[in-house]
Structure 1
């Protein structure tokens, strides 16, 4: 079976690239690189004002995936409702694990980071690095929730924060 899985992604599809979150395929273009003709997905990440070119033959290897299904989004929301699981490891080790989860592109793993780092008003302050990781995870989560539900980010943010607040109650 040498048939390539090229047809999986098309222009105007929303996709998730692990290191950058939700982007939109603008086009598929041919480019000559080092004397070889290469077919590339041109993916725009509007919020980061960034364009990424991913070779179509390396797309799946690089972790590019379609948006999560509504079921996965439901599971992510359920994950948010759970009790925070904070390991007793040193912060640097935990921060590394959170970073890996965020960049895995796995929505459930990202939801776990949001859950574990979320602070309600009556809890202690977050350190700067905790806050950075929390916001990165929250941003990835809300962007994908918005893209899957076809709503805007503000709606998705409200949905996520409602779940987090209901958990604290």
Structure 2
């Protein structure tokens, strides 16, 4: 059972109609805030529409920030991310499985600078040594 709320802003997080970024799905638009009954409890959720994938995602308002959902990046943050991409790749001498976990955590964080670090580190020039799989 859902009930749409007419409010334009919920808890100061996101506006209805605002574009947001959600990890693993990309850019979507907050279309509504609903109250849903789940397992006998009432939950307030953001309804996020991803037009490219024709996907509707419902994110609990209490967990929106911790799930990595964020507003679009500012011009300053995009500039910082581009500087990070232009920097020198950091070579980590750890096991590939540990690096993969670190990269996945950075990607899923939703932090644009962290994502740029992963792209920079994985895009190595030909003169840089290959990394060990062990």
Give the 3-state SS of the residue equivalent to 1:68 in structure 2: coil
Mark the runs of 5 or more structure 1 residues left unpaired by the alignment: 126-169
Please name the residue that 2:66 is paired with: 61
1:10 to 11, 15, 20: 15
Quick one: distance in 1 between partners of 2:127 and 2:17? 43
Structure 1 segments, 4+ long, off by >6 Å, are 121-125
1:38 aligns with 2:36: no
Per mean C-alpha deviation after superposition, the further-off stretch among 69-78 and 40-49 is 40-49
Length, aligned pairs only: 122
Which protein has the bigger strand share? Answer: 2
Q: How large is the RMSD of aligned CA atoms in angstroms?
A: 2.7
The answer as to whether partners of 1:16 and 1:64 remain within 8 angstroms in 2 is yes
Residue pairs, 1:79-118, within 5 angstroms: 79-118=84-123
Structure 1 residue 95 displacement after superposition = 1.4
Taking a change above 3 Å as real, the CA distance of residues 44 and 5 of structure 1, as seen in their structure-2 partners, is closer
Summarize the Cα distance change of 1:44–1:120 in structure 2 as closer, same or farther, 3 Å threshold. farther
**8 Å CA contact 1:72, 1:107 repeated in 2:** yes
- For structure 1, which segment, 6-15 or 69-78, has the greater mean C-alpha deviation from structure 2 after superposition? 6-15
Q: Which structure has greater helix proportion? A: 1
Tell me the SS of whatever aligns to 1:53.
strand
CA–CA distance in structure 1, aligned partners of residues 50 and 119 of structure 2: 21
- Provide structure 2 residue ranges, at least 5 long, that are not aligned to the other structure: 1-8
Larger radius of gyration: 2
Change (3 A) 1:123 1:60: closer
- Please, what TM-score do these two structures have when normalized by structure 2? 0.75
The structural deviation recorded for 1:68 is 1.6
- State the SS of the aligned residue for 1:7: coil
